Each structure stands twice: as structure tokens, then as C-alpha cells.
């Protein structure tokens, strides 16, 4: 059993076939737009804000990884993480 390729008739508009190839991408594009707005952007912005000291009222001040350093030195955080680690055992 072999598949034969059929040449397009001369009367068929080639731009129609370009649209047929493009249509699946046009149908799925709303998903990607919504995913970027509500999925990717908040994650990237949270990472950006985590590297700043910001009260929400003043302009953010860049402090680098100081937030993470202070978090790893906090006794309450370490107690909570030890409880989580205990649950995973």
C-alpha cells in the first residue's frame, strides 16, 4: 500500500493553503495569550519583586538575595520546613 501525492489543480489559489496551515495556530493563540498574562507574567513579576524591598507604597529598592538570606536564617521558617520534610518521609 503506497501513498500517492496529488498535484494541486491549477485553479486552486495557493494563499488558501497558506491559511489552512495558519488556522490551527490562530485557534490556539488565545490560550497562549491568556497563559502568558495569567500564568507566566505573575511568576516572573514575583521573582522580580522578591529581589526588592518594597512596602507597596514606595518605589522598590533592589536588595538582591537578602530576602532569601534572612528567610533561611529565620527560626520560624526552618521549623515550618522541618515539619514539611517530616511529612514527606
**pLDDT digit string (tens) for 24-54?**
999 999 999 999 999 999 999 999 999 999 9
What's the CA gap between 71 and 51, in Å, rounded? 13
Given a cut of 70, whether residue 63 has pLDDT beyond it is yes
Domain ranges of the chain: 14-88
Predicted model pTM:
0.66
**CB distance 60 to 52 below 8 Å:** yes
CA 37, CA 25: separation in Å to the nearest integer?
Answer: 18
Report CA Rg, the chain: 27
> What sections of the chain are H helices per DSSP?
14-35, 41-50, 66-72, 75-88
Amino acid at each position: 500500500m503506497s501513498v500517492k501525492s496529488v498535484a494541486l489543480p491549477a485553479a486552486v489559489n495557493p494563499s488558501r493553503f497558506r491559511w489552512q496551515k495558519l488556522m490551527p495556530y490562530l485557534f490556539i493563540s488565545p490560550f497562549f495569550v491568556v497563559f502568558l498574562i495569567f500564568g507566566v507574567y505573575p511568576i516572573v513579576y514575583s521573582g522580580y519583586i522578591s529581589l526588592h524591598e518594597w512596602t507597596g507604597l514606595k518605589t522598590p529598592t533592589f536588595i538582591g538575595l537578602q530576602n532569601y538570606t534572612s528567610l533561611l536564617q529565620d527560626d520560624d521558617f526552618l521549623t515550618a520546613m522541618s515539619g514539611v520534610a517530616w511529612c514527606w518521609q
